[in-house]
Amino acid sequence: MASKVQQLRDRAKQIARHPRTKKIALWIASILVAIGILGALVAPPLLRHKLAAELSKRLHRDVAIQQVRINPYAMSIAIRGFSIAFDELYLDVEMRSVIQRALAIKELRLSRPYISLIRNNDRTYNYQDLVNEVMAGPPGPSGPPPRFLLENIKVIDGKIDFDDRPERTKHTLSSIRIDVPFLSSLPHDVDVKVKPAFSALLNGAPIQIGADTELFKDSHESTVRINIDKLQIPKYLDYSPVELNFKAPTGQIDGRLTAAFRTSKDKPSVLSVSGDLTLKDLVLRQKEAVAESPVTGIGDRGF
């Protein structure tokens, strides 16, 4: 037994010392070095220029990208200094993309995205041209969704500013955090429940939303949990779809709600909402000038 082991060792040494083995090893090392040079030095500026040009064309707006970093060995990409507008987009692609013939991303992280929304005086928005272009385009292809597997999707410290010029008011959604631990359209993952989470400050009021859902199953149930703290009512009454004959100078909402949505092919969809909704310091006044005194106040009442 010992002699056989020694023979194998001697044979391995002979193979390792053979000129052809050294040549193959040199070729492999050269290929790896070339991949590293191309991926780290050559590809990033080409990709940065191509992305900026293509996105500017698609969005009809100037797009600038400060830096693209590629690690070909870790199969990761980082895009930084995107002017419309985020600080960094990080992608960590897995080898399963090749094996499963599906886009497989181990981590997708978007840091400090920023969106500026404007409602013009004619009631259109500053992104109206993009919406019109999408609506005027041909319908998308029918059939099964594209194959993908996404893990650890994160949006960190996002912000949206909304300038409502007709109403002469501004709103801010800040400290936006989105976490989606797992999202897949692959057939063997359709029964896996996706648990996304969202949190932000809406004009300073904390909002938290969590959910359990099965997006790609024919029949599924989705549950959404919504937590609202100190949401100021007067800032949002102007957005009522129907005309109101009253105004609310004060009032806030606290809520702990759960919404369940069930759908299937053979049955009508069902939506149920449960939980507690509390109105505090609410004062309603009629809009007529002759009736400016408070007509009712509702405080600390749960529903």
Residue 294, in any domain of the structure: yes
Give the mean pLDDT of 211-219: 73
Instruction: Report if residue 62 sits inside a domain.
Output: no
> Which residues span the domain enclosing 233?
218-303
Assess if residue 184 is contained within a domain: no
Is position 147 within any domain? no
DSSP H helices, 137-269, are none
Structure token digits, residue 53: 């040009």
Residue 255 lies in a domain: yes
pLDDT of residue 177: 96
Regarding pTM above 0.85, the answer is no
pLDDT value at 14 more than 70: no
Q: Are 69 and 91 in contact (CB under 8 A)?
A: no
| Model confidence at 157: pLDDT above 90 | yes
Going by C-alpha positions, the residue among 128, 109, 125 that lies closest to residue 117 is: 125
Cβ proximity of 265 and 218 under 8 Å: yes
The conformational region for residue 137 under phi > 0 = left, psi -120 to 50 = alpha, else beta, is: beta
- Helix, strand or coil for residue 122? coil
Assess if residue 275 is contained within a domain: yes
125-140 pLDDT per residue, tens: 887 777 777 777 676 6
Q: Which of 31-35, 177-181, 270-274 has the lowest mean pLDDT?
A: 31-35
Higher pLDDT, 110 or 56: 110
> In the chain, how many domains are there?
1
Domain contains 251: yes
Cα dist. 208→201, 233, 258 in Å?
9, 18, 12
- pLDDT at res. 297: 37
In a domain, 70, yes or no: no
